[in-house]
Structure formats: C-alpha cells, structure tokens
Structure 1
Amino acid sequence: MKKQLILLSTTLLFSLTAAANTVQDAPLVSITSHDNYFDNLRQHCGKAYEGKMTVDNPASGGFEGRLIMHVRNCTDSQLQIPFHVGNDHSRTWVITKTGSGLSLKHDHRLQDGSYDQSTMYGGHTIDAGFDTVQSFPADQYSKELFAKLGNPQSNTNIWQMYIYPDTFTYRLVREGREFRVDFDLTKPIALPPTPWGYKD
C-alpha cells in the first residue's frame, strides 16, 4: 500500500510538472488589434522623443521640466518605456502581453533604485481596442493600493495610450480629472539617462 502511494505521488508530481512546463512553453495568445498596437509601439524601440503637456485639469504640478519618453527595452511580450520629467527619472511605463490582453503598469522608483510606495499600479485592456489606441482601466491591485495610500478617487482611473505615425499620447482620465502628454515622433532626440532602478 505504501509503495502504491509513493508511486501515485510520484506520478502526480510528474504530471503537474509536465503540465506546468507545457503552459510555460505555450505560445502567447493575443488578438490582432493588440498585436498591431504592440508592434506599432515596438517599431520605435531604441528611440526617444520629447513631449509637451497639453491637458492638466485641474492643474496637478510635478511635471515641470523637459518631458521625454524613451522606448528603451523591447521583447516579444514586453515594452519598457521610461517617462522622464526634467531630472526626475523615476517613472517607467511597462506594457506587457498577458495572453488575455495587454497590461500597463507604472514602475515608480526612488533615486536609489528601490520601489516607491506607489508603484506598479495600472490596468488591463477589457476590449479589443484599436491598432492605434488602447485603454487600461484601473485593475484590482491598483484600487487597493490607491485606497491604502488615501487616493480612492483614483479607483476610476482609465489610462489611454495612442500611437499614430507622428504622435504618441499618454492620457489619464477619470471623473473631474484629465491629464495628457503628446510626444512628437517625427523628431528623435538624444537618449536620456538610464531610469532609476534599471541597468544598461
């Protein structure tokens, strides 16, 4: 009986391991609009562009200085795009193919490279979107983080990113709040410093 249990346990462990490896090795499934959007952004990999704030209502402050986006690191499933504000190199947008859509996360770091208390918030697509536009409503992790930090008004955040031939736009909207930065894709600029917490 004991030998049978050991054999059964070994067989079960082998099966679970094989299943996990199969899932891990499976191709990442996505739909055409998500793939096209991702590829439209990825074609700018290795380039940086300057932007300007076009909407900030109500005015929030904290975005003084030169605004630069840098499509810095790209794989088949993830794009890392630092957003530099003057000498503040704390922000990186992370867009990831999840197999059920696209995820946007805001990776915020302190100057020593450690994580800010407000970090990795963002959202996930809930529809097909378009080749040029995707929307990311706040996910559950973000809602709980905002509540913990005393910012429950951010629970209805929707982040939008537009990628057109001449312009990339980052936009945040919720009731009573809109923030937007437009970047000129026709004029690549010198690359900014490495964002905090990352390595070359």
Structure 2
Amino acid sequence: MAIKYLTIILLLLGTNSLAQANKTFFNELKSRKGKTFHGRVIYMPDTVTKNDFWGKNLQFTVSKVNNEIRMPFIVGENRSRTWVLRKTPDGLELKHDHRHEDGKPDTITNYGGTADKILSSDLTQYFPADKFTAALIPAAAGNRWTLQFSADKKKFFYILERDNILRFKAEFSL
C-alpha cells in the first residue's frame, strides 16, 4: 500500500515539475514580447537542401502573448512561417503555421507536437511530432523540435531532429 502512495506522489511531483518547467520556459519567452532576435543556421547536413536557409539572415519576433506566443520566423525575405507556442491542458504545444503571401494557410501547416513530459526543463522544451503531423507529413513522424535557451539565456536555439538524427540547428542572439 505504501508503495502505491509513493508512486502516486512521485507521479504528481513529476507532473508538477513539468508544469513548472513549461511555465518557466513560457514566461521566459513571454518576457521578450515585442523584441526581435537575429540568428543564423549553425548546422545543416549536406543531405538537406540548404537553399532555403543556409547563409540567410534568420529572425523571429516574440509577438502576440496570452496563452499563446506567436513568433513570426523570417528567413531572408521569406515571411511565410510563424512558430506558435501555446499552453494546453497537456502542456506546451509547438506548431508551425505556414501561410501564403495573401494570408491563406499553406497545405502543409500546423504541424508540431506537445512538450515531452520527461525530457523538457526550464531551459529546454522537446516537442515530438504529434499524430496530426505524422498524418500530414508521413516522413516527419519521427521529428522532434527543440526550443532551448543557453544556460546564461543570451542565446536561443531552434533544433530539428528526425529519427534521432540532427537535421537543422539555428542560433539566435538574445
């Protein structure tokens, strides 16, 4: 009986610490509302087409903030992407909103996932691909996106892995 209660307490503590990590991470981004950050690609293997990102100025702005943070992500002159981080009952959710110049959604949009309950922390949130993403982009079923602050909070990283292999990493100066 004591083991049963101890297990329940440990599960509740783990859930509470994840909720706190989600909240801390979200609030850290939220505190940067209205600011724009510039960055660059620091890793992209030769097997991935580099034309879209490599050597281009990257920037994101922390904009609309409530239970959702919208971060328009600009690559060179391309303004079609927005990262959307929102609070949900399951934790933080990251989605990628892709739009055409006229504002209409792209056919490949709203993909992403919910923060991993085991790996995520105050500084790092890991988002494995959800079922919607796997159905929309079958090749991305094994994707995991990571949003990460450096320990000194002077840098921010956006990372993409597919099937546990690094595919993309961008670094932004905060």
Please report the TM-score for the alignment, with normalisation by the length of structure 1: 0.72
Q: Secondary structure of the equivalent of 1:45?
A: coil
Aligned mates of 1:111, 1:33 — CA distance in 2: 36
Does residue 168 of the first structure (1) align with residue 159 of the second (2)?
Answer: no
What is the aligned-residue RMSD (CA, Å)? 1.4
| Equivalent residue pairs, number | 150
**Deviation per residue, 1:145-194 (Å, 9 max, x gap):** 01xxxxx3211000000023100100000134520100000xxxxxxxxx
Match of 1:141 among 124, 129, 132: 132
1:184: which partner in 2? Answer: 173
Aligned mates of 1:45, 1:163 — CA distance in 2: 16
2:99: which partner in 1? Answer: 109
Q: Whose strand proportion is higher, 1 or 2?
A: 2
Please report the TM-score for the alignment, with normalisation by the length of structure 2: 0.82
Match of 1:119 among 92, 109, 123: 109
**Deviation per residue, 1:65-106 (Å, 9 max, x gap):** 21111111111x110001101110000000000022110000
Give percent identity, aligned residues only: 34
- Give the unaligned 5+ runs of structure 2: 1-17
Q: Secondary structure of the equivalent of 2:169?
A: strand
- Give the unaligned 5+ runs of structure 1: 1-29, 147-151, 186-200
1:197: which partner in 2? Answer: none
Q: Secondary structure of the equivalent of 1:73?
A: coil
Deviation at 1:31, TM superposition (A): 1.4
Misfit runs of 4+, over 4 Å: none
Which fold has the larger relative contact order, with Cα–Cα distance below 8 Å and residues 6 or more apart in sequence?
1
